[in-house]
Amino acid sequence: MCGIVGYVGEKQAAPVLLDGLEKLEYRGYDSAGLAVLDGKNNINIARAKGKLCELFKKTDGGKALEGVCGIGHTRWATHGEPSENNAHPHFNDDKTIAAVHNGIIENYAELKGKLSRQGYEFYSETDTEVATKLVDYYYKKHGDPVRAIANFVLRVRGSYALAVLFKDYPDQIFAVRKDSPMIIGVAGGEAFIASDVPAILKYTKSVYYVANTEIAHVEKGKVTFYNLDKEVVEKDLTEITWNAQSAEKDGYEHFMLKEMHEQPRVVKDTVNGLIKDGKIDFSDFGLSDKDIAKVKHITVVACGSAYHAGVAAQYVLEELARIPVRVELSSEFRYRNPVADKNCLVIVISQSGETADSLAALREAKKLKMKTLAIVNVLGSSIAREADGVLYTKAGPEIAVATTKAYSSQLIAGYALALKFATVRNTITQERYKELLSELSTLPEKIECILKQKESIQHFASEAANKKNVFFIGRGVDYAVCIEGSLKLKEISYVHSEAYAAGELKHGPISLIEDGTLVIGVLMQENLIEKTLSNLVETKSRGAYIAAVTCGDDKKVENVADVKITVPYTDGLFAASLAVIPLQLFAYYLSVLKGNDVDKPRNLAKSVTVE
Ligand code: F6R
């Protein structure tokens, strides 16, 4: 949802900013822009509609904008269509202030009205231009950037990460955020602002996490933070453990392909991070055995694929720990006035840790005095900081918009929670516990083995290239995989698909099955294979073309399926970790065949920081 960058140092700013924006392009890619202070007290701006390469061309790789201090932006349109005019940065009327913004200013219409009455004119449809002119208004009133921004914060409603250049302050950037991510990195005589770590990993791993409404004054190699009363706030630097290479494609054609191939390692790292002395241990994540014993219900809140990981966790948790689990979309939970329950643990799952709805759901749970646990991938993200406890998945930076490795690591966190709750609640035998723990450690190798057969999935994708509608059906954990497989297909290949619990098909959607409709059945649960198989037969009788993802050599499956995709055997509870791999590959190859932009699918952005 828009990415912002800033740089001040010894180098030419524009190429560094473009490089950072390239790493953030997953956050928005309908237009981009740069503003650079040229050392002669001018702020020069370049903006371009379309992907970042357009801005790159327009500025000759940044050479056209001289200066060592600047800000940049890649946009995912909220207010106003994608166009050069609406692209950031935006200027004040006399071009002495320029700003980039990520988020939404909710009261922008009211503020625009007030500023218009003060004589301000507007050239774009954006809330960011309003934000820039509001800062200008307060700057002209107080003559001080920090005070101007503090007044801006007091006046606006909504979410924002804002970086501002003032002509009067060469080689300095002023920034603030509220509910939109922002980090500031320092290295020697340089300082960097970014919406996310990958943008600056190449330059530094020492970062400050900017807290809500803190104002940063960024100079060469130095950052000073202020609160709204202009008192200095002391902050500690955090060292990032991700390596710079993890934000590069590393020879793969797409980040998504690379990230799918990282899944064996990511799953292994996540499992290893959860086991201490041969047992699952949650004591480092703010969830002691005593805390767990008090929990009577669990509510998982999340969006998109993270929600799907929650659905898989629900089946495993209820099966192993015999505890009631409810999984809710964050966007629903936050507004449905949930009943406060002090015995309920609310688990928020989020790769980015910045998803606006999930952050709001977390706050709602905290307001209701429920204990909260975050399962998050990005260190120091808002959800991680605000939850009572946090379990970090070990996926490393995920750049492709469609999640793969982060989803896989979220699944592992869910299994580990289930095993932990089961031991504390005494609902699992030692034997079964050990069996599952040992099965968990075999998953990376099994995922690797599926990835090695990727050509067969590529072939299947080429056969399915003309399908207009695809159905995914399964039961139990297999159903949880289906909803994820269906989402992957929709988002990157733009093929219409639906996922249904296999038993539900005949209650309506079966009327959509016609000659040649592709139905993909996930058949990983030994006790449910026959049931799902009969649902597949029902669709086959109506002309469907059947593909089955399964782990056995069951002849019954072969008799029904036109295409059989076999993955290694695993316990049914962990089936999602294996069955999802061919579904990810299928969506990927279909997207490639269609010539889509796999890593940056249309209309989407990775970190959804607006509701
Ligand atoms: C789908 C996808 C999205 C995210 C969702 C939540 O491939 O990536 O559906 O899962 O936007 O994002 P996070 O996990 O960052 O809260």
Give the Å distance between the CA of 1 and the centre of ligand 1.
Answer: 12
CA separation (Å) from 277 to 281, 443, 445, 488?
9, 20, 22, 37
Tokens of 105: 């200013």
Q: What are phi and psi of 511, to 5 degrees?
A: -65, -15
What residue type is assigned to position 570 of the chain? T
**Among the ranges given (69-73, 256-260, 380-384), the one the predictor scored with the smallest mean pLDDT:** 380-384
> Which one-letter DSSP state was computed for residue 179?
B
Tell me the best of 608, 609, 611 to mutate to test the pocket of ligand 1, counting ligand atoms within 8 Å of each CB and taking the most: 608
What residue type is assigned to position 394 of the chain? K
Give the Å distance between the CA of 306 and the centre of ligand 1.
Answer: 6
List helix spans (H) across 453-564.
454-463, 477-493, 529-540, 555-560
Residue, of 78 and 430, whose pLDDT is higher? 430
User: Ligand 1, closest atom to CA 383?
Assistant: 16
User: Ligand 1, closest atom to CA 352?
Assistant: 15
Residue 41: what pLDDT?
A: 82
DSSP string, 233-296: E----EE--S-GGGGS-TT-SSHHHHHHHTHHHHHHHHHHHHEETTEE--GGGT--HHHHHH--
Protein residue whose Cα sits closest to atom 9 of ligand 1: 304
Give the Å distance between the CA of 606 and the centre of ligand 1.
Answer: 7
Instruction: Please give the mean pLDDT across all residues of the chain.
Output: 94
pLDDT in tens, 358-376: 999 999 999 999 999 999 9
**Confidence grade of residue 1 (pLDDT, cut at 50, 70, 90):** low
Distance (Å, whole) CA 315 – CA 529: 17
C-alpha angle 497/500/503, rounded to 5°?
Answer: 145
Residue 396: what pLDDT?
A: 93
Give the Å distance between the CA of 305 and the centre of ligand 1.
Answer: 5
Residue 464: what pLDDT?
A: 95
Burial class (CB in 10 A: 0-12, 13-18, 19+), 184: buried
Residue 80: what pLDDT?
A: 76
**Among the ranges given (156-170, 205-219, 244-258, 528-542), the one the predictor scored with the smallest mean pLDDT:** 244-258
What residue type is assigned to position 346 of the chain? V
Protein residue whose Cα sits closest to atom 3 of ligand 1: 304
- Answer whether 492's CB lies under 8 Å from 598's CB: yes
User: Ligand 1, closest atom to CA 608?
Assistant: 11
Q: Is 305 in the pocket of ligand 1 (CB under 6 A)?
A: yes
Q: Can you tell me the mean pLDDT for 130-154? A: 97
Tell me the best of 305, 347, 483, 591 to mutate to test the pocket of ligand 1, counting ligand atoms within 8 Å of each CB and taking the most: 305
Distance (Å, whole) CA 79 – CA 71: 20
pLDDT in tens, 434-471: 999 999 999 999 999 999 999 999 999 999 999 999 99
Distance (Å, whole) CA 69 – CA 10: 9
Burial class (CB in 10 A: 0-12, 13-18, 19+), 220: middle
Catalytic residues: 2, 606
Q: Is 409 in the pocket of ligand 1 (CB under 6 A)?
A: no
Residue 550 has pLDDT above 90, yes or no: yes
Residue 265: what pLDDT?
A: 97
Give the Å distance between the CA of 403 and the centre of ligand 1.
Answer: 7
Residue 611: what pLDDT?
A: 75
Residue 598 has pLDDT above 70, yes or no: yes
CA separation (Å) from 556 to 241, 354, 460, 566?
49, 46, 21, 14
> Which one-letter DSSP state was computed for residue 504?
G
Q: What are phi and psi of 522, to 5 degrees?
A: -105, 120
Q: Is 355 in the pocket of ligand 1 (CB under 6 A)?
A: yes
Residue 25: what pLDDT?
A: 83
Q: Which residues contact 186 (CB under 8 A, 6 or more apart)?
A: 192, 204, 206, 207, 208, 221, 222, 223, 237
Residue 314 has pLDDT above 80, yes or no: yes
**Confidence grade of residue 85 (pLDDT, cut at 50, 70, 90):** confident
Give the Å distance between the CA of 607 and the centre of ligand 1.
Answer: 7
**β-strands 518-523, 215-219 pairing:** unpaired
Q: Can you tell me the mean pLDDT for 259-267? A: 98
Q: Can you tell me the mean pLDDT for 303-313? A: 98
Residue 603 has pLDDT above 90, yes or no: no
User: Ligand 1, closest atom to CA 308?
Assistant: 10
Q: What is the pTM of this model?
A: 0.89
User: Ligand 1, closest atom to CA 304?
Assistant: 9
Cα pseudo-dihedral 474, 476, 478, 479, rounded to 10 = 60
- Answer whether 46's CB lies under 8 Å from 112's CB: no
Distance (Å, whole) CA 270 – CA 278: 14
Tokens of 259: 């990230």
Q: Is 28 in the pocket of ligand 1 (CB under 6 A)?
A: no
Protein residue whose Cα sits closest to atom 7 of ligand 1: 402
Short-list 65, 4, 60, 74, CA closest to 37? 65
Distance (Å, whole) CA 306 – CA 407: 6
Q: Is 393 in the pocket of ligand 1 (CB under 6 A)?
A: no
Q: What are phi and psi of 18, to 5 degrees?
A: -65, -40
User: Ligand 1, closest atom to CA 358?
Assistant: 16
**Confidence grade of residue 30 (pLDDT, cut at 50, 70, 90):** confident
Give the Å distance between the CA of 315 and the centre of ligand 1.
Answer: 20
Q: Which residues contact 346 (CB under 8 A, 6 or more apart)?
A: 298, 299, 300, 301, 361, 362, 365, 370, 371, 372, 373
Residue 244 has pLDDT above 90, yes or no: no
Taking the CA atoms of the chain, what radius of gyration do you get in angstroms?
Answer: 25
DSSP string, 138-168: HHHHHS-HHHHHHHHHHH--EEEEEEEEETT
CA separation (Å) from 458 to 105, 249, 333, 509?
44, 20, 39, 28
User: How does 53-82 read in b/e, with b if 16+ C-beta sit within 10 Å?
Assistant: ebbbebbeebeebbbbbbbbbbbbbbbbee
**Confidence grade of residue 242 (pLDDT, cut at 50, 70, 90):** confident
